[in-house]
Structure formats: C-alpha cells, structure tokens
Amino acid sequence: MLTDSLLEIAKYALPVPVCIGVTQLAKEAGFPTRYAGLLSTGVGLALGGVAIATHLYPEIETPVVLMLGGLVSGLMGAGVWSSVKNAIRG
C-alpha cells in the first residue's frame, strides 16, 4: 500500500503533467491555441475538485491517485509515440 507521504506528493505533482498533456492533445485535435490557457485552467480546476473529493472521502484517495498516474503514463506514451512517428517520417 502507498504511504501517506507518497500520496501527498502524487496528489500535488500529478495534476501538472495532466494539465499540460490534456491541453497539448486538445491543441493537436484542433482546439484554438488562443484558448489553451483557459482549457488548462479548467482542467486544473477539475483536478482540484478531485483533490477536494479525496480529502472529503479518504477511501477514494488511493484509486484516484493511481488513476491519475495511469493518465500521466498514457499521456507520456502518446508523446513518445508521436515523437517516434515524427522522427521516422523525417
């Protein structure tokens, strides 16, 4: 089981790459770049709501942190895939 200090670190560190990754994916899908800051802020607020929920209902904290970790891993994988694809295309 994850320790409390590791959960605290994950709770505050994971939203940053999630906001960046979701915003970047949205821009690549055609979301207007001029609104990217607003989108990132909205994603951050939503993740803040998740953090509040984990505080109010501690029993969901571990699954939520693990799901956010999975989301970060997925976003990283998409970035690696995109980088390799672009390198092969030249």
Mean pLDDT by 10 residues, the chain (90 residues): 66 80 90 91 87 84 81 76 75
- Asked whether the beta carbons of 24 and 82 are under 8 A apart, the reply is no
Residue 34: per-residue pLDDT? 92
* pLDDT tens readout for residues 52-73: 888 888 888 788 878 888 887 8
Kindly state the tokens that stand for 60: 């969901």
Residue 29: per-residue pLDDT? 93
From residue 40, how far is each of 4, 45, 49, 58, 76 by CA, in Å?
28, 9, 14, 26, 17
pTM score over 0.75: no
